[in-house]
Amino acid sequence: MSEQYQHRARKRFGQNFLHDAGVIDRILRAIHARPGERMLEIGPGQGALTAGLLGSGAELDVVELDKDLIPILNHQFAGRDNFRLHQGDALKFDFTSLGASPHSLRVVGNLPYNISTPLIFHLLDNAGLIRDMHFMLQKEVVERLAAGPGGGDWGRLSIMVQYHCKVEHLFNVGPGAFNPPPKVDSAIVRLVPHETLPHPAKDHRLLERIVREAFNQRRKTLRNTLKALLSSEAIEAANVDGSLRPEQLDLAAFVRLADKLAEQNGAE
Residue 267's pLDDT is: 62
Q: If we measure between CA atoms, which residue out of 129, 246, 119, 126 comes closest to residue 189?
A: 119
Residue-wise pLDDT for 10-59, tens only, equals: 444 445 778 899 999 999 999 999 999 999 999 998 899 999 999 999 99
Residue-wise pLDDT for 213-261, tens only, equals: 999 998 999 999 999 999 999 999 999 999 999 999 999 999 999 999 9
3-state helix, strand, coil in the chain (%, to 5): 40, 20, 40
For 181-204, give one letter per residue: b (16+ CB within 10 A) or e.
ebeeebbbbbbebeeeeebebeeb
Question: Which CATH number characterizes residue 7's domain?
Answer: 3.40.50.150
State mean pLDDT over 88-100: 94
Percent of the chain scoring above 70 in pLDDT: 94
Residue-wise pLDDT for 164-178, tens only, equals: 999 999 999 999 998
Q: Residue 244 gets which letter from DSSP?
A: S
Q: What does the mean pLDDT of the chain come to?
A: 92
CA R_g for the chain: 21
Give the Cα separation of 259 and 266 in Å (integer).
Answer: 10
Report yes or no on 198 lying in a domain.
no
117 and 220 co-located in one domain? no
Range of the domain at 225: 204-267
Cα end-to-end distance, the chain, whole Å: 65
Residue 5's pLDDT is: 44
Residue-wise pLDDT for 124-168, tens only, equals: 999 999 999 999 999 999 999 999 999 999 999 999 999 999 999
Region label for 35, one of left (φ > 0), alpha (ψ between -120 and 50) or beta (otherwise): beta
179 and 216 co-located in one domain? no
Residue 101's pLDDT is: 93
Question: Which CATH number characterizes residue 256's domain?
Answer: 1.10.8.100
